[in-house]
Structures are given as C-alpha cells and as structure tokens.
Amino acid sequence: MKCENYMELEFPSKSANEAFARSAVACFAAQLDPTLDELGDIKTAVSEAVTNCIVHAYRDTIGVVTLKCRILPDDVLDITVKDKGCGIEDVEAARKPMFTTGGEERSGMGFTIMESFMTQLKVVSSPGRGTTVHMKRKIVRRGGKA
Amino acid sequence: MNLTSFLQDKRLTIALRGEIDHHSAKDIMRVVGNKIDLYLPRLCVLDFKDVSFMDSSGIAVVITAVRRMREISGKVVLRNIPDQPRKVLKASGIEKIAEIEERSPVYEM
C-alpha cells in the first residue's frame, strides 16, 4: 500500500515515555487535520499500546519500544507499536475486557479501548519473542480543507 | 503529587489534574487512598475538571477509590468530566460502580 508520509521512533520502555509517545503521534497526525475528538482517541489508543509494552512486555526490565506511524491513502493513520518482550500466550483472552495480569493497578481495559477507539486493531504476538500491535484510524475529511 | 481536596459534611472532594496515565496513576492512587483513609468520608467526589488526558490507568484510579469507599460503606461520584476522559470512562462501563454526575452544578452550596 502506498504510504504518503511516515515516521519512526525508538525509545526505552520507561513510563515517562508514555506521554512522549502519544504526543509525538498526535503531532504527526496533525497534518491530517483531525478533530479534537479524533486526536483524543488516537492519543488514548497509543497510550494503551505503549503502556502494555512497559507494564507487560518488559515487566521487570527495560527494553526497546518501536513506534511507527504511516499516512496511507484516504487519510488513514496507520500506527504500529512493537516490542521484543515476553509476548502474549493467548491473544484472544488478552483482548477481552477486564483481562489483566497487571494486578490491582491495571484495569484490563487496554485492548478494549484500542479496539473501540480505532477503526482496526490487529495483535500479533509470539511468546518469548514479542508483540506487535497494528492500529488504523481513518480521519474524516472536513469541509473547507483544500 | 499534590492534589487539592476539601472536606465538608463528610463529603471529600478531590480535584484531579493533568494527564492520568500509567506513569502518574500510581501516585494519584496513593494520594486518593491516603485522603480517604485520613478523612473517612461518606462520599468521595473525584473532580475531573482539570484532567487534560486520561487512559485506562484512570479507570484503575476510580476502581481503587470505589474499593476504598466500599470498605467504609461510602460512595464515589465523578464530576466535571471533559470529553476525552468521559469517553474512556464510558467505554469501561464505570457507571456501574460509580455515579457520573451529568451536569456540573453552577453553584456548590
């Protein structure tokens, strides 16, 4: 698929980078002229995906998180969040609401929110090798834009 | 983390602020928990007016408050929720365990 613009980021799985990651994606997405609502959805989904890397993939260690954004034809923002952490044994179970291995501090709503806030969500994981989350969001073109 | 709060007639209002994510949530949970333990209110109001961003970590903050308040037979009310946090809270079905105040009262007596 033809990609009209892209960016790639790499950062260690430190929780201070959660805010950085979602803000960076929001800045990149700004060229599609999204509404505040769309921007909020994208930031939330990115925050969930990156938090998963930090809390679950690299549970007691620090590893590399790779974040890629592409702009595809028809104003589709394509986001990939990749880690080389522990992986997910049962992706289907992990995607269910309230499922968490993170204890009382986590709500288990991460994948549910990514799913409901984005147009498309795909999770590819292999235990021991890592997880890649692919998300797509179509930005609705508003009147008045050239 | 310093959160403004006030207590009136066994109602504890805590003003949350800034961005609530996994990075900040731990501190917020601890502060909210400590305030509930200290004042033992009947009602705990979490005010979201100054929350500029929230992800699912905020849901865990609310759940923690609800748990603490249940232990002392109290309730949690969520107030002044901006659109972005509201969407996250609604997606989680939080209204089943905490009341969402639909309109912010103009004057608080």
Q: pLDDT tens digits for B58-67? A: 999 999 999 9
- Output the pTM of the full model: 0.92
Q: Which of B23, B26, B91 sits opposite A113 (nearest CB)?
A: B91
Q: For position A103, what pLDDT does the model report?
A: 79
Closest CA in chain A for residue B87: A41
Q: What is the pLDDT of residue B32?
A: 97
Asked if A50 and A81 touch (Cβ cutoff 8 Å), the reply is yes
Q: Answer whether A110 touches B (CB < 8 Å).
A: yes
ipTM here: 0.90
What integer pLDDT is reported at residue A89 of this predicted model?
94
Q: What is the arithmetic mean of pLDDT over B81-109?
A: 84
Residue of A nearest to B26 (CA): A105
| pLDDT at residue number A105 | 79
Fold of the domain spanning B4-100: Transcription Regulator spoIIAA (3.30.750)
Side-chain-side CA neighbours of residue A19 (13 Å)? 12
CA A136 – CA A113 distance, rounded (Å):
13
Spans of all domains in chain B: 4-100
Check if the beta carbon of residue A107 is closer than 8 Å to that of residue A114. Answer: no
A17 is catalytic: no
Q: What is the pLDDT of residues B42-91, one digit of tens each?
A: 999 999 999 999 999 999 999 999 999 999 999 999 999 999 999 999 99
Provide the pLDDT for residue B2. Answer: 80
Domains and CATH numbers, chain A: 5-138 (3.30.565.10)
Please tell me the predicted confidence (pLDDT) of residue B107: 57
Could you tell me if B84 and B49 are in contact, meaning their C-beta atoms sit under 8 angstroms apart?
no
Binned average pLDDT, 10 residues per bin, chain A of 146 residues: 91 97 98 96 98 95 98 96 96 89 84 95 96 97 65
